[in-house]
Amino acid sequence: MEKSLLMYEACAGSAAIRQLRMLGEKLSGRRVVHVNSTREGGGVAEILSWMVPLMRDLGLDASWEVIRGAGDFYSVTKSIHNGLQGFPVNISQKGWATYHAVNQANAETLRPTLEDADIVVIHDPQPAALLQLCGGRRGKWVWRAHIDISHPYLPVWKTLRTIVKGYDASIFSMPQFALPLPHPQYLVAPSIDPLSEKNRDLPPEELDAVRAGFGLDPSRPLLVQISRFDRFKDPIGVIEAYRLVKKVQPVQLVLAGGGATDDPEGEEVLREVMDAASGDPDIHVLLLPPDAHRTINALQRVADVVIQKSLREGFGLTVTEGLWKGKPVIGGDTGGIRRQVVDYHTGFLVNTPEGAAHRIRFLLYHREKMRSMGEKAREFVRENFLLTRHLREYLILFHSILSGSSEPRIYV
């Protein structure tokens, strides 16, 4: 079923929906084309699968195009992706030639659509070269970088920069992710879909079933960290914190994450976590399949405290998800977690296992405070990090770049 704004009114509030309708009305009929490299799988496809239908619902003539390439193209773009994130990768001239050739081939079919659009949003580096191949474009072109490119491997950035500097604007998720470019750089934080399997309300019997399925004792407090098995997520530090709490409270711990079969370091970290947890029946290390969204949702809901004790983090959407379920979050003092976790309001920022243990004990002891912080956390996400806010910011951007005004204030 195609998503509509009406479905979100109960979660986001009628004022937010009305605001979107009014912003959309004034863009009615504008042709907006999003371009990325995959229809399914990955965060970008997930965003576009709700954003495009909701833009249509608002009256925009929105569409979603996907570029097609062969295996060697994706090898090159994977290297570009890694290089932008700072890994030293060698992309040969032939590699860049493949990148340009695939963009060229896609431009042949997409050119009429793209050149005719009022706004083209190109997601990530894969289709970025389309700009140079659409010389007859009449609209505004925006490059949306979904990854952190703040410390790139310079040879890769040097080449890509020559491509993306020609855009009319770019969008980054956080200021820390951006690099200087000769056009306006907008900041649009990620968001969650409150109606997705990962975030929708679940019936109590389903929560009971998940609890029973994993052998969790409903009478004792539960700590949950959802993340892949990665050193930057500090799962060993979470176990240390749990052990410190367990000296005074009979807690249980769930560490749940996706499979790590294609990531040798992930397998190693998982082994270390299993070793650290062995012999303690109250530590549940769960390796979940990639589509276990409802299970993750249920685990976050049955938790007393959600933990995201990362040592390094991007925006940290698992934090947003935990807050949306009305749980205070104990989060590592890093990246986007700092933006979401505010001491004594939505959770606590911590730097060590000892700090995490201290804050967990505080919350488990002050149950009423924990409950009120959880309520505040959910309202905080409702106001700031649902997809309705995400959509609103795209509409503002469209108004802004279509106005052609250099003034910071636009009356529409």
Partner 1 sequence: MTPFVVMDCVLLTRMSGLPEAASLRELRERVAVCGDNVLYHHFYETLLRPSFDYPDYHNDFAVWAKLHLADLVLAERFGVLDPYAFASMEELRGTMLDIIDERLATLAVVPAVSRGSEFYFFEADTVVFDTGDRICSPADLAPSVARMSTGSVFFHFIEAHRREPVGVDDFSAWLLHFGEETSACREALRTIDFAFLTLSELRSEICERLAAQCL
Binding site for partner 1 (CB under 8 A): 15-16, 18-19, 22-23, 26, 172, 175-176, 178, 180, 184-189, 334-335, 339-340, 342, 345-346, 380, 383-385, 389, 392-393, 396-397, 399-400, 408-412
SS3 state of residue 276: helix
Closest distance of CB 408 from partner 1, Å: 5
Q: How many CB atoms within 10 Å of residue 166?
A: 16
Closest distance of CB 15 from partner 1, Å: 4
Q: Which of 286, 297, 141 is nearest to 214 (CA)?
A: 286
- β strands within 185-289, DSSP E: 185-187, 222-226, 252-258, 283-288
For 63, the enclosing helix (H) or strand (E) is strand 61-66
Taking CA atoms, 62 is separated from 106, 118, 139, 276, 339, in Å, by: 19, 10, 14, 50, 31
Whichever of 318 and 400 has its CB closer to partner 1, that residue is: 400
Closest distance of CB 7 from partner 1, Å: 20
d(CA 33, CA 115): 10
Whichever of 249 and 384 has its CB closer to partner 1, that residue is: 384
Structure tokens at 396: 């503002």
d(CA 374, CA 379): 9
d(CA 255, CA 23): 42
Strand partners, 286: 256
- Rounded to a whole number of angstroms, the distance between the first and last alpha carbons of the chain is 33
Whichever of 89 and 189 has its CB closer to partner 1, that residue is: 189
Whichever of 32 and 253 has its CB closer to partner 1, that residue is: 32
Residues in the chain: 412
What is the DSSP code (8-state) at residue 194? T
Closest distance of CB 23 from partner 1, Å: 7
Amino acid at 307: I
d(CA 138, CA 144): 19
Whichever of 29 and 411 has its CB closer to partner 1, that residue is: 411
Closest distance of CB 282 from partner 1, Å: 33
Whichever of 227 and 320 has its CB closer to partner 1, that residue is: 320
Whichever of 109 and 405 has its CB closer to partner 1, that residue is: 405
Dihedral of the alpha carbons of 378, 384, 385, 389, in degrees to the nearest 10: 130
Whichever of 7 and 342 has its CB closer to partner 1, that residue is: 342
Closest distance of CB 207 from partner 1, Å: 28
Structure tokens at 340: 């979401």
Whichever of 161 and 339 has its CB closer to partner 1, that residue is: 339
d(CA 244, CA 263): 31
Closest distance of CB 238 from partner 1, Å: 21
d(CA 134, CA 127): 12
Closest distance of CB 399 from partner 1, Å: 5
Closest distance of CB 66 from partner 1, Å: 27
